[in-house]
Structure 1
Amino acid sequence: MKKMRRNGFTLVELLVVIAIIGVLVGLLLPAVQAAREAARRMSCSNNFKQIGLALHNYHSAYNKLPAQKGGTNNANDGSLGGNQLRLGWLPTILPFIEQQGLWEQISHPLAINTDGTLRTTPWPGMGPAPWRTDYTPWITELAALRCPSDPGTGLPALGRTNYAACQGDAVEYNEVGAWSGSNPLVMNSGYAEQIRISGRGMFVARQYTGFRDVLDGLSNTIAAGEIATDLGDRDIRTAPIDGPGSAVLRDNPSWARDNDKIDPERPQFWRAGENLTTDNAAGDGARASWARGFHWADGEMQHSGMNTILSPNSETVSRTTADSTWGMYPPSSRHQGGVHVLMGDGAVKFITDSIEAGNSRAHTVYKDHNPGNAGTQSPYGLWGALGTKANKETVSFDSL
């Protein structure tokens, strides 16, 4: 009598097939993740190109670049009387990145609150202080200003940005420019002398610059850089640490590294117990939102500025003075190995973390150390040279 033959797989055969599928999935997932990140990186680059085109269109219309920390100021009404000359470079280019509707809300007095109720007194034209959480435009998140690789979202940030104006390779008075006081601000001749030496970037606080000021050539000068926004995890790139006295940090950009502030077991994070700018060390309740990229409309450097002193993805260190901050603010990103930068001619370049960056312990350029010499060569190598606009330094992208 013949035995009936059963059709199907044995248990061993099924296990072998499952194991093969598991291996294939394991091999495929990294490739899928890499493809997704490549797409996000390309999208980020395209965002930056659009911003570059907007800068050129703005310059064509007004024969100057947007101001970093410009806007309006009315001493009598505090943060409701104007934006206290704290408006960043991004709000004024809104019409050139297809955000005309939001621009009109900002430039014309808005008469509603964030909850939709009518105000008895309209908001001021060009908006109130850019840290106000009850002003709708300032809390609006714009996809055009965000890198798709950056997962940061939500409070305590307002509307975030991943793109920051380049303010050169020096720090002296780069947070206030030629202005002093609190409210109202007044022109200060001493500050003006200092900023003439240290205002070396394409953007200078509270001052209009133009393409004619970029004597090194637009293709050799960084206009803006990418920044990662803070996730609340004490990342050295996004959560600035409170720095030492101004002269100490100014004369040694690597102060935090030299003083063992970084966790040696997790070199992307600060040691536990270190005071961050967001920790309210000075008792300022507003500091909870003083992390990188948290206010897209704010011209303070921790929100929308960067400098070419420490190499990309290095630590951020802040010196807080009254309601202003200055310090070491290198660009950063969630991309592997480097950051995007926007050159003055509108080109977007990917700069690696290993770019030649000179001596990170050399003092920055400032008047008392470099009297009368605004064209002093950058001590920060190729990286510093790319951040200066008129120093006649030779740069080559072959070494990037």
Structure 2
Amino acid sequence: MRTSGATSCGHQRRVRCRGFTLLEVVVTMGVLGTLVAIVAPAVQVSRSRVRDLECRNNLRQIGLALQNHEQSHKAFPTTGSYQLRLSAQIENSESVWVCPADSQASVARGGDFSYLINDGTKFRFAEKNGFAVQSIRDLADHGPRDTKASDITDGLSNTCAYAERLLVSGFNEGSPEQSLLSSPRRFLWYVEDRQPDEDGMMAACESSRTTPYPLRYKTSGTFMNVGYDHILPPNRIGCQNGGPALLRMADQSSSLVSSTSEHGPSVNVLMADGAVRPIFDSIDLAIWRAISTRAGNEVVSLD
């Protein structure tokens, strides 16, 4: 009986079997490599955007806690350990205080904060004019007290309450210099000589930085209410007034602590009314300073 023709190898009718040629394999691998090269950055960008959104959502939760505290106590928690006072009203508060978009977030320890309170535009503690710290006249007249909504005469929507600052986690004075120089905006840097005012400090910070100061933001220790200021534009390197021989305690009595992030050319800020806004590094310095004061009588709008 005559068998029908077969199309597979090994049957009576011989059919030429062929696999992939070397050229086809190379072309296929090239196509796959191209697809990976296209898709991988897109996935990375997508993940980065998710982390950025989480960072802003953390600020929104802090803002909601601020508003709830103000409604309950008729004042914002701006004295003492304000992070601890707010944390009582925030679920999973430890993770909320850390921005996941910060590359150091994975090694953050308890007491590391990505969001600091606004101290205003004066670099001496007794002259602070921001959301949190009162001037020496306020302290003399009223003593240490929380900021009330009525104190913010510039308007809640025109006054920053909190902003981002890159974490300083695991730093010590023996850290390799290269690891410090790779991310200088995380640290406050000593300047060579003590400066008398903000202008002198800004110039010295640009031209005569020396070594970094090991400043971490934490809820325990002598100085629990450390904040950031608007003297420098966003994402600038901050400085501590004087060198190690002049000042060993980072008490912010005279320092520049700028808002910094890894979002690109911008930082996220929380306004006193609870709104979260991205602020670009290119913002006019006069506007950046105006939105830091609570009663400076500046006419400004971020819209």
Could you say whether these structures have the same fold, taking a TM-score greater than 0.5 normalized by the shorter chain as the test? Answer: yes
Map of 2:46 onto structure 1:
35
The answer to whether the aligner puts 1:325 opposite 2:273 as a matched pair is: no
The answer to whether the aligner puts 1:222 opposite 2:160 as a matched pair is: yes
Counting only pairs closer than 5 Å after superposition, residues 135-284 of structure 1 correspond to structure 2 as: 142-152=94-104, 158-172=110-124, 174=125, 195=126, 198-204=127-133, 206-230=144-168, 232=171, 233-234=179-180, 235-243=183-191, 244-247=193-196, 251-259=200-208, 261=209, 274-278=210-214
- By how many angstroms is 1:152 displaced? 2.2
Question: Take 2:184 and 2:43, find their aligned partners in 1: how far apart are those partners?
Answer: 29
C-alpha root-mean-square deviation of aligned residues, in Å? Answer: 2.6
Secondary structure of the structure 2 residue equivalent to 1:317? strand
The answer to whether the aligner puts 1:305 opposite 2:227 as a matched pair is: yes
- By how many angstroms is 1:309 displaced? 0.9
Deviations 1:68-107 (A, max 9, x none): 4x2xxxxxxxxxxxxxxxxx320011221136xxxxxxxx
Map of 2:295 onto structure 1:
390
The answer to whether the aligner puts 1:96 opposite 2:89 as a matched pair is: yes
Q: Are the counterparts in 1 of residues 58 and 97 from structure 2 also a CA contact under 8 Å?
A: yes
The answer to whether the aligner puts 1:356 opposite 2:257 as a matched pair is: no
User: Which letter maps to 2:189?
Assistant: I
User: Which letter maps to 1:240?
Assistant: L
Question: Take 1:42 and 1:167, find their aligned partners in 2: how far apart are those partners?
Answer: 25
Q: Which runs of 5+ in 1 are unaligned?
A: 71-87, 100-140, 175-194, 262-273, 279-289, 358-380
Deviations 1:168-217 (A, max 9, x none): 01112x1xxxxxxxxxxxxxxxxxxxx4xx33101006542111111111
Question: Which is bigger in relative contact order (C-alpha 8 A, separation at least 6)?
Answer: 2
User: Which letter maps to 1:162?
Assistant: S
- By how many angstroms is 1:256 displaced? 1.9
Q: Name the TM-score, length of structure 1 as normaliser.
A: 0.61
Question: Take 1:299 and 1:39, find their aligned partners in 2: how far apart are those partners?
Answer: 36
Secondary structure of the structure 1 residue equivalent to 2:102? coil
Question: Take 1:152 and 1:322, find their aligned partners in 2: how far apart are those partners?
Answer: 24
- Stretches (4+) displaced over 6 A: none
Question: Take 2:109 and 2:190, find their aligned partners in 1: how far apart are those partners?
Answer: 19
Map of 2:27 onto structure 1:
16
User: Which letter maps to 2:194?
Assistant: G
Q: Name the TM-score, length of structure 2 as normaliser.
A: 0.79
Q: Are the counterparts in 2 of residues 161 and 304 from structure 1 also a CA contact under 8 Å?
A: no
Secondary structure of the structure 2 residue equivalent to 1:331? coil
Question: Take 1:304 and 1:6, find their aligned partners in 2: how far apart are those partners?
Answer: 76
Q: Are the counterparts in 1 of residues 97 and 115 from structure 2 also a CA contact under 8 Å?
A: yes
Question: Take 1:299 and 1:201, find their aligned partners in 2: how far apart are those partners?
Answer: 21
* Structure 1 residues 222 and 337: CA distance shift in structure 2, 3 A: same
- By how many angstroms is 1:355 displaced? 0.9
Q: Which runs of 5+ in 2 are unaligned?
A: 1-11, 135-143, 172-178, 242-246
User: Which letter maps to 1:220?
Assistant: N
